[in-house]
Structure 1
């Protein structure tokens, strides 16, 4: 029984990720997953990338336990051969044979690989990690996405026009491609560049009542 009013930390071994960490003595894996996800001391990594990292580490731990510790990069390569849809049947069979020689059942190993959803559940529910963003963070993310897409559109237009001009399909001198994304608000009637709108926190509708 728990003491009245005290919250209990969920047992991480109740999750698939936590159980595997405990079963195969993957010391520090939980903390590193959290650091990689939150970007502590490094660039933040996606859940899918973390699932791949964890599964490669799991494969390495299985080989260690079988008395056949992998060489550097070997676990990552074996994981790719076992899971990548673009890998040929022959290469996959060779990878499975490598595992079988070490006494590891390939299908059993595959069943232990975790999904990005399992990583997310483990981090949020069993480690209490959160990546909640402030409104400013979310605005910056939108700004970055819009600017990236704008840059791609400019590049596509420039390359296409240069190709047509060189082929004599159009007459065109020195040129610049200018792409501006403006947001028209039907309520206040303003048309504002999207980057300016994000920097200002909105259009003139936000001035109502001041």
Structure 2
């Protein structure tokens, strides 16, 4: 059983497999990338966890909570506040985060467990861009973690004066042809600079 299958079963997301397949192959009115499918799936998991905990759900709350839990631009302090808020609702936050799936897990589930074929030049380029985005995000997260630990050590040994803090990592790309500046995630998602497309 794949991770996606297990999570579908655990959260009773009965129609999710068919929905993922429909959105990926474009049989629905719109076609989702693997990354969009992973976000769609994970938001459904979060929504179910909140409903099972009888949490009151305001419009847009699931989307915002998911962003606060997963977006690399969110500070560690805000993420911790979000996790504490979920814990107060009775949600096992560590289990919830473990149950979130990657776009690779979605791809494996669709191709190996549902036998869906969906390969083209666009998909191949998209897959490479998604892998590149993951690599950069991991490096950003690592940079933030190392910086936080280093600053905490310096503060705790009284080598610097610093109160509570957050570390942010923002990688931007500037196109030398047109001068446009992009967050690297946006550049990769768009498939390059506007002036070259």
TM-score normalized with structure 1 length: 0.55
Q: CA RMSD in A?
A: 2.5
Q: Structure 1: where are the runs of 5+ without partners?
A: 1-13, 143-155, 161-210
Q: CA deviation at 1:84?
A: 1.1
**Secondary structure at 2:74 match in 1:** coil
1:19-168 paired onto structure 2 within 5 Å = 19-133=6-120, 138=121
Deviation at 1:94, TM superposition (A): 2.0
Which is higher, the Rg of structure 1 or of structure 2? 1
Displacement of 1:69 after TM fit?
4.8
Distance 1:64 1:19 in 2: 19
Identify unmatched segments of 5+ residues in structure 2: 126-175, 180-197
* Higher relative contact order, structure no. (Cα contacts within 8 Å, ≥ 6 residues apart): 2
Could you tell which deviates more after superposition, 65-74 or 19-28? Answer: 65-74
The structure 1 segments of at least 4 consecutive aligned residues displaced by more than 6 Å after TM superposition are none
Question: How many aligned positions are there?
Answer: 129
